[in-house]
């Protein structure tokens, strides 16, 4: 296995999503990393043909590195529901048609009910965040963060995005939709484990590629 590689200087963030771009820029700025995005450079969006979160993150990062000649950083994420055999998983965004998360949450709840999954222990779910960095010479670093929880109904809270209002992280009494962004995504100053899947993956990335 090739030795790990540090991320330095200017990179490409392989996303066309303004929200993701803002979040990633904020995470990388303290390390002196500046970033342009695939959207800003007008690069095409590759088809996400992978069957895992990591495969899809890698497809986006690899396409970005080839098109820009810069180290490229990409993510892929979603929610997996145990009682639905891991669905929606890599199709999390598609279940919402891009934006109808109330509809996507209602579909999850309805499908769980159809299968008789009503008790909290039958409504377990987890979020996954896969992060990939690919350098123009093909070197790859990848990381995966996970947070486990239970799906509540009705959804609670108006903070966050996506499936946040129905996700109650284990050991907590408020859903992601009821938490501040800092509580959900923040990186604890004392180095203890962050809460969200994305923050956890980023902590591992920072240790290996930014330390």
Catalytic residues: 76
Q: Which of the ranges 37-45, 66-74, 134-142, 157-165 carries the binding residues for ligand IMP, by CB under 6 A?
A: 157-165
From candidates 127, 135, 143, 202, binder to ligand IMP by CB under 6 A: 127
Residue 98 or 116: the one with the smaller Cβ distance to ligand IMP is 98
Q: What is the DSSP letter of 194?
A: P
Does the protein bind ligand IMP through residue 96 (CB under 6 A)? yes
Residue spans of beta strands (DSSP E) within the chain: 10-13, 34-37, 72-81, 124-134, 140-151, 167-169
Residue 162 CA from chain centroid, whole number: 11
Mapping DSSP to helix (H, G, I), strand (E, B) and coil, where does residue 91 land? Answer: helix
Does the protein bind ligand IMP through residue 196 (CB under 6 A)? yes
Q: Which residues between 58 and 87 bind ligand IMP (CB under 6 A)?
A: 76-79
CB 18 within 8 A of CB 40: no
Buried b (16+ CB within 10 A) or exposed e, 44-68: eebeeebeebbbbbbbbbbbbbebb
Does the protein bind ligand IMP through residue 162 (CB under 6 A)? yes
Query: Which among 154, 147, 191, 143 is positioned nearest to 169, based on CA atoms?
Result: 147
CB 146 within 8 A of CB 153: no
Does the protein bind ligand IMP through residue 163 (CB under 6 A)? yes
Q: Which of the ranges 63-71, 88-96, 117-125, 201-209 carries the binding residues for ligand IMP, by CB under 6 A?
A: 88-96
From the CB of 40, what's the least distance to ligand IMP, in Å? 17
From the CB of 79, what's the least distance to ligand IMP, in Å? 6
From the CB of 78, what's the least distance to ligand IMP, in Å? 4
Q: Which of the ranges 5-13, 24-32, 37-45, 89-97 carries the binding residues for ligand IMP, by CB under 6 A?
A: 89-97
From the CB of 55, what's the least distance to ligand IMP, in Å? 12
Distances (CA, A) of 206 to 12, 82, 130: 17, 30, 14
Give every CB contact of residue 7 below 8 A, 6+ residues apart in sequence. 31, 33, 71, 73, 133, 209, 210
Size of the site for ligand IMP (CB under 6 A): 15
CB 64 within 8 A of CB 72: yes
Q: Which of the ranges 64-72, 135-143, 158-166, 203-211 carries the binding residues for ligand IMP, by CB under 6 A?
A: 158-166
| Footprint of ligand IMP (CB under 6 A) | 76-79, 92-93, 96, 127, 160-164, 176, 196
């Amino acid at each position: 296995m090739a030795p790990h590689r540090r991320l330095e200087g200017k990179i490409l963030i392989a996303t066309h999503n303004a929200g993701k771009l803002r979040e990633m820029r904020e995470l990388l700025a303290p390390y002196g990393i500046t970033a342009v995005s695939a959207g800003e450079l007008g690069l095409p969006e590759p088809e996400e043909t992978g069957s895992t979160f990591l495969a899809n993150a890698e497809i986006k990062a690899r396409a970005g590195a080839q098109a820009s000649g810069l180290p490229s950083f990409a993510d892929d994420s979603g929610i997996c529901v145990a009682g639905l055999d891991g669905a929606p998983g890599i199709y999390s965004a598609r279940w919402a048609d891009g934006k109808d998360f109330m509809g996507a949450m209602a579909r999850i709840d309805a499908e769980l009910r159809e299968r008789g999954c009503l008790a909290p222990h039958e409504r377990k779910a987890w979020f996954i965040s896969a992060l990939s960095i690919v350098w123009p010479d093909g070197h790859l670093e990848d990381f995966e963060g996970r947070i486990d929880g239970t799906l509540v109904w009705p959804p609670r809270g108006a903070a966050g995005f996506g499936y946040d209002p129905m996700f109650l992280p284990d050991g907590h009494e408020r859903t992601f939709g009821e938490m501040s962004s800092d509580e959900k995504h923040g990186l604890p100053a004392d180095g203890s484990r962050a809460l969200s899947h994305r923050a956890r993956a980023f902590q591992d990335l920072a240790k290996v590629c930014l330390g």
